[in-house]
Amino acid sequence: MIEANIKVNEQRKKIHPHKFTLWVALGSIVMMFAGLTSAYIVKRDQPNWTTFSIPRAFWYSTATILVSSVTIQMALKAFKEREMMRYRNLVTLTAVLGVAFVVFQYLGFKTIWNSGVTLKGSGGGQFLYIIAGLHAAHVLGGIIALIVMFIKAFASKVRRYNSIPIELMATYWHFVDLLWIYLFIFFIGIK
């Protein structure tokens, strides 16, 4: 009996394999963006480097993704408390905010493109679009996962109260939020 309790306690202390895998993946993504932003810093002193102003839409997208980080955390809390209606509403709101973030990003990059910063010419535009494009790919992956969560929240009649998938999604969504904040501050501070 005592040995069984010790084994159960040891099992609880271990990180879930999916969480471990997610953290390893996030670590590699951090390294990729650290390399890209470091290269941007090194290359920006080249002749004919294109600079750009931060569009207002980026400020709106930043506020939107920050709010979505709060709503997904609230959704996780609601799920753990088995408040399914609140959980569904918060997952829906998070997905809508995620889509709104992408729309604001599109509008911001359209403004930058229309100002003459394109993929041609200096590396400034090229780096900007590559870095932001990679972030957008990660956000779109998150939105797909949010849509799957949304569908599961409304489709399933039998409830399995396993919070691991929602915890994984919340961690990932907070990560893309923090990554955007880093990139936003980076592009504001580096000209």
What pLDDT digit, counting tens, does each position of 169-190 carry? 999 999 999 999 998 998 888 7
List pLDDT tens digits, range 56-114.
Answer: 999 999 999 999 999 999 999 999 898 889 999 999 999 999 999 999 999 998 998 88
Task: Give me the CATH topology for the region 2-189.
Answer: Four Helix Bundle (Hemerythrin (Met), subunit A) (1.20.120)
* Tokens (6 digits) for 36: 């890209």
Residue 139's nearest CA partner among 187, 147, 90 is 147
Contact in structure between 102 and 133 (CB atoms under 8 Å): no
Contact in structure between 179 and 135 (CB atoms under 8 Å): yes
Enclosing H/E stretch for 74: helix 56-80
Place of tokens 């080249």: 46
pTM of this prediction? Answer: 0.81
Domain boundaries, the chain: 2-189
